[in-house]
Structure 1
Amino acid sequence: MKIKDLVYLIAFVLVIITISEMIGFQSISVGDISIGLLPLVFAIVITMILGLQFFRKGFWKQIYSKVNIEFSGKYLLFIMLPLMARYGADVAPQIREILQIGWVFIFQEFGNLGTVIFGLPIAIMIGLRREAIGATLGIGREGELAYISEKYTLDSKEGRGVLSLYIIGTLFGAIFFSILAPILLGLGIRVEALAMASGVGSGSMMSASSASLVAQMPEMESTILAYASASQLLTSFLGTFTMVFLAAPLQQFMYKLLVRGEK
């Protein structure tokens, strides 16, 4: 990657961040429910719009070049490292309370099986076959991407399935979670439960969900961030084992049961 391309990419990111922060947190009321839209949501929407083929001309074509996209995807993990450190800092002050209900965090890991139990039959019903294996193994983040790429390669049908879900999650995941969390809070679900549910294994989704909850209940900021961070750390660690030893075998069994006669 050329230095000039890197400079343009960094400048573009800084401009998007500045615009999004200037917009700031916005709240939309739908009946008795208040939906919070974070600067992160606006940043995603702006970059999505500018990434449309219609705008990919001249300077914008250079920004959204294949080299820049591959570079951003390759080093995404390093960009997330400061966020992982923040998780630990948020968990530490609430560690005693978290340990007291630790079994709940472990029990929620079985929720990772939901994508297989509910998603696989629906995917097959709408016409997917081997692609459904990659698309329903989990929420399609880095863990699932690595597992599918190692076992099937990304050029396979399974690889196309997980890549499709990864792209969709990147584009819409944070937006969906930032809207869903305050809606569920308005329906009376406890904020602690929603904070725990925010840790699904995606840093952007967790941040969007927990920040939306904090915006609704700022007096519980430390509790929300601690629960969400602990859940995220546990999901990142245990989620891999759940996927390999539970989700993948269950998925293979269900696939053979639902798609009979396929070799």
Structure 2
Amino acid sequence: MLFDSHCHLNSDKFDENDILEMIHTARDHNVVQILVPGYDMDSSQRAVELADDWQGLYAAVGIHPNDANGATEEMYQKLRDWAQLPHVVAIGEIGLDYHWDTTPKEVQFEVFRRQIRLAKEVKLPIVIHDREAHADIVQVLREEGAKEIGGIMHCFSGSWEMAKECMDMNFMISFGGPVTYKNAKRPQEVASKVPLDYLLVETDSPYLTPEPHRGKPNQPLYVRHVAEKIAELRGMEFEEICRITSENAERIFNVRNPFVSL
């Protein structure tokens, strides 16, 4: 069985029929657990609703750096309230994004730091969005003592040296569709080296669709291609990568597979 550790079923690109079909198709192919991360207040609310409606779906709630303008105390309190719900298992996705010039860096830093502190308060791991901000991400995580709660480096694109620093702070390293791309030498190098107990797989659906479906909208079913590529890179059986990454996700999110009898 597989755990898609980052999938935006709460995206406005999907309607209810899309979501229903994708979940059933994924489950037919043993992708049975999915983390749905928020990126603003509306998407966080939707993640919570999906996690309430579907066994095996879990929510993360948070404010993405590209949506950090206008963050208020009321929003932080709402995140705090959601964090008490049983199917909310992380704060995220949060972090820094220097690719899009939509939010001043000082605002991104403030909102990122506030949410790390909130996560420490509610004792949940954090899901990190890092786009072209590697050094600053590591610095903020260190300064804020994020090692206390740990979390996930979502769709990791940094170096092996950065991966080691993140793992030293109790962060798992998650790989998505880009690890399947022909010229993705750095993600493939890191994916082949990460210790197995720090390894996760994801889709980031509807984005970053893996080969051989690149160019189409991503969906949770396609996490299988990510796991297959990592198994190939490491010279391991696909089923073993499925088992290991699912157990890792269950451990960091403190959940258990509802489809497996104890």
TM-score > 0.5, shorter chain as reference: no
| Larger RCO: 1 or 2 (CA < 8 Å, sep 6+) | 1
- TM-score, normalised by the number of residues in structure 2: 0.29
Higher helix share: 1
More strand by share: 2
